[in-house]
Amino acid sequence: MTSQANPIPMIDSHCHLDMLGLADNDDGIDALLTRARADGVSQFLAIITDPDDAQKTIDISRAHDDVIYALGVHPLKSRETELERQALIDAIDAFEPVAVGEIGLDFVEHRGQPPRVPIDVQRERFACHLQVARESELPVIIHTRGAKEETLELLERYIDPAVGGVLHCFTDDLDMARRAIAMGFYISLSGIVTFNQAENVRELARVLPLDRLLIETDSPYLAPVPYRGKTNEPAYVVEVARTIADVRGISLDEVAMQTTANFYHLFKRAAPKMPQRIQSQLGQLNAAFRG
């Protein structure tokens, strides 16, 4: 936890508040978010992984002005029937998310078993989401594992570089990151960057342009050091920022300032819900982004 009296605001750009077991307990959510705010986390992008399950997240957002959300169907989300294109458009119109996601491709086998959502279904789902996102002029939040070339191929086909998106919880190689950045993407690093065996992710944190990085928890998963083994929560995004600062040899404030500026540059719909304490630092944020 940071000890600064007035910490530079930072943003958890990817969390699953509805999965923290607290969505039906206002006191629990209040306590979780209060801890994060006390540590300088000023906004939370909650991820809806299926529009049919959106209500808990939307209720949390309505109760907390600093919680915004994205909406999509996760590549490994099993559905009896696929979400039709018009139903996805209707959901975006009704819920007004700041982005389409978490969407993507996950071809990784588990214990020798193929992905629980067939690869051809994942491809069709992903392409549909990308097309709708482009038509809606919304950025995308991408989950990709074991599908580097397939992911990049579909992004190249459908993405508007002026809108772009983010590769979330990124652990792939530098080549993929650079090719995505060339398409207008940001790269988001999670608590994995703190893991002892994740030198490859720390190398990404070291060499990728700071003005293309975001930070996230992906909570309740992937709690960073020194919280390994605990349920992850948005307050712990500070540890992600701290590790990035350490490997780059810069201050925590610089990482916080730049990643916050990056967030608002990517997620245009988030700006109207920007907390007042961030608005008061707009000049600094804009200067950080231009720098």
The pLDDT, as a whole number, for residue 116 is 87
Listed by start position, the domains of the chain span 10-290
Closest among 211, 231, 217 to 12, alpha carbons compared: 217
The pLDDT, as a whole number, for residue 280 is 59
Contact of 240 with 215, CB cutoff 8 Å: yes
The CATH number of domain 10-290, selected from 3.40.50.1360, 3.40.605.10, 3.30.300.30, 3.20.20.140? 3.20.20.140
pTM of the model: 0.91
The pLDDT, as a whole number, for residue 8 is 76
Which secondary structure element, helix H or strand E, spans residue 140, and what is its range?
strand 140-145
The pLDDT, as a whole number, for residue 20 is 84
Residue 60 reports pLDDT greater than 90: yes
SS3 251: coil
